[in-house]
Amino acid sequence: MSAVQRTAAGLAPRGLPSCQLRLRGVIFDMDGVLVDSHAVHRKTWRLFLRSLGREVPDSDLDFILDGRKRGEILRHFLGDLSDEEAGEYGRRKDIIFRRMQLEVTPVPGVLELIRSLDRAGVALALATSASRSRALSTLARLGLEDLFRVVVTGEDVASGKPDPAVYRMACARLGIAPEELLAVEDAIAGVRAAVGAGLRCLAVALHEEPEKLTAAGAVYVMKDFRAVSAQGLEEILLKDDRLGRSREGTAARGTNVSSGEAKR
């Protein structure tokens, strides 16, 4: 019986006692989590806006990296656009991005982690503000298209991150309660979206300050995935659950718990 079949049958993957198996799924963001694409996105948007005669300072391009939907970004830089105009501009921007996509590389360790989670029978989902076509093409290029049970994109929800809609939809489509899942994000808005949906969130600090990710609600911050295993994610889930129960008990006794406990 495969790991996936064992999970479908309600059995724990081999090596994990069923009484300890709390992690049933992981929901990944894409840009900055599966792939280190931020530099290419900056270059893409700069070239696209330049093609329209607009020069944008590098600091203004920070706006594109915080989990916003493409239409929101376009209207931020170009003003009020109809849905048809936003769609056309979006396609033109995507053409520029595809020309440079070979510069986009996987975040170190993420492919190994995803495959180990799949072997353990842990359900995988993607929750990204990117378009569906780019999300699916990215998964295919990484060889992961058959491993993700659920893919939710910016096209599926009315509001982008930090609105929790994309994560709520991912949980619903997985059919798994948020407390049995972990989210993995890299942006403050993404962390807030995951926490708003009731998920514990890990953060990858490739381009953001770890302290800001922790302040947004991340329970664990890492540089990349090279030191993270499927078993390690299970332990993070269980450890944070025990910490939460400890805090509740301490609060009931009228004693404050130091916020430093949440920073690992």
Determine the 3-state secondary structure of 106 from DSSP.
Answer: strand
Closest C-alpha to 78, from 97, 104, 60: 60
The residue whose two tokens read 């996987």 is 106
User: Mind listing the pLDDT tens digit for each residue in 16-39?
Assistant: 333 344 799 999 999 999 999 988
Beta carbons within 10 angstroms of residue 222's beta carbon: 21
105, with CB counted inside 10 A (0-12, 13-18, 19+), is exposed
The residue whose two tokens read 């990204």 is 128
Q: What is the per-residue pLDDT for 238?
A: 80
User: Mind listing the pLDDT tens digit for each residue in 241-263?
Assistant: 655 544 444 333 333 322 333 33
Q: Where in the chain is the domain with CATH 3.40.50.1000?
A: 3-36+106-252
Q: What is the per-residue pLDDT for 64?
A: 79
- Tell me the sheet residues that pair with 96: none
Closest C-alpha to 147, from 170, 127, 126: 126
Q: Where in the chain is the domain with CATH 1.10.150.240?
A: 38-103
Q: What is the per-residue pLDDT for 257?
A: 27
| Secondary structure element (H or E) that encloses residue 184, with its range | strand 181-185
Q: What percent of the chain has pLDDT above 70? A: 82
Q: What is the per-residue pLDDT for 239?
A: 77
Q: What is the per-residue pLDDT for 59?
A: 85
d(CA 248, CA 83) in angstroms, rounded, equals 47
How many angstroms separate the most distant Cα atoms in the chain? 63
Q: What is the per-residue pLDDT for 98?
A: 85
Q: What is the per-residue pLDDT for 229?
A: 92
CATH of range 38-103; options 3.40.50.720, 3.30.428.10, 1.10.150.240, 2.40.50.100: 1.10.150.240
Q: Which CATH superfamily is domain 3-36+106-252 in?
A: HAD superfamily/HAD-like (3.40.50.1000)
Q: What is the per-residue pLDDT for 240?
A: 66
pLDDT at position 120 over 50: yes
List phi, psi (to 5°) of 203.
Answer: -130, 140
Would you place residue 3 in the very low, low, confident or very high pLDDT band (cuts 50, 70, 90)?
very low
Q: Give the contacts of 136 (CB within 8 A, at least 6 positions apart).
A: 145, 151
Would you place residue 152 in the very low, low, confident or very high pLDDT band (cuts 50, 70, 90)?
very high
User: Mind listing the pLDDT tens digit for each residue in 53-91?
Assistant: 999 888 888 887 776 788 888 999 999 999 999 989 989
Would you place residue 15 in the very low, low, confident or very high pLDDT band (cuts 50, 70, 90)?
very low
Q: What is the per-residue pLDDT for 248?
A: 43
User: Mind listing the pLDDT tens digit for each residue in 157-212?
Assistant: 999 999 999 999 999 999 999 999 999 999 999 999 999 999 999 999 998 999 99
d(CA 83, CA 140) in angstroms, rounded, equals 28
Q: Which two tokens stand for residue 80?
A: 């009020």
Q: What is the per-residue pLDDT for 250?
A: 36
Determine the 3-state secondary structure of 206 from DSSP.
Answer: coil
